[in-house]
């Protein structure tokens, strides 16, 4: 199969500084193709503290969060997997950075 060509553009889901690091497409036994998108926030990225707004740098956590886009508007079941990232705030400590796809307006649901 010709990889990305079979799927609409899903790059809009992942915006800088988050970046895609891997992609696995499963379309053999499933009626709806599934795309697993592995993303990360590169450690040391500039992020704003979600609590006080201070400029900080990101720190990678060990846990993985998994989000699924149930809308199927991309013609597939889109699963985003990411290591949790924290903003290392000099004022108030480490706080989890919100994923861009965590927006209430997005089609993603945490699972």
* Cβ within 8 Å of residue 9, ≥6 positions away: none
Give the number of residues in contact with Zn ion, rule: CB under 5 A. 7
**Interface stretch with Zn ion, choices 14-22, 44-52, 60-68, 75-83 (CB under 5 A):** 44-52
Comparing CA positions, the residue from 15, 13, 67, 66 lying closest to residue 41 is 15
- Binding flag, residue 89, Zn ion (CB under 5 A): yes
Q: Please, what is the minimum distance in Å from the beta carbon of residue 2 to Zn ion?
A: 46
The first and second tokens of residue 51, run together, are: 């609590």
Give me the half-sphere count of Cα atoms (radius 13 Å) on the Cβ side of residue 60.
Answer: 11
Q: Write down the least CB distance from residue 93 to Zn ion, Å.
A: 7
Q: Is 49 in the site for Zn ion (CB under 5 A)?
A: yes
Q: Are 29 and 70 in contact (CB under 8 A)?
A: no
Is 84 a residue that touches Zn ion (CB under 5 A)? no
Q: State the residues that interact with Zn ion by CB under 5 A.
A: 49, 51-52, 54, 89, 91-92
């Amino acid at each position: 199969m010709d990889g990305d060509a079979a799927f609409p553009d899903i790059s809009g889901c992942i915006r800088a500084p988050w970046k895609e690091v891997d992609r696995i497409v499963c379309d053999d036994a499933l009626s709806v193709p599934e795309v697993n998108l592995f993303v990360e926030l590169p450690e040391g990225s500039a992020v704003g503290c979600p609590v006080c707004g201070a400029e900080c740098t990101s720190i990678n956590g060990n846990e993985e969060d998994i989000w699924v886009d149930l809308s199927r508007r991309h013609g597939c079941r889109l699963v985003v997997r990411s290591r949790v990232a924290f903003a290392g705030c000099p004022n108030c400590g480490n706080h989890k950075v919100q994923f861009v796809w965590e927006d209430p307006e997005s089609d993603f649901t945490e699972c």
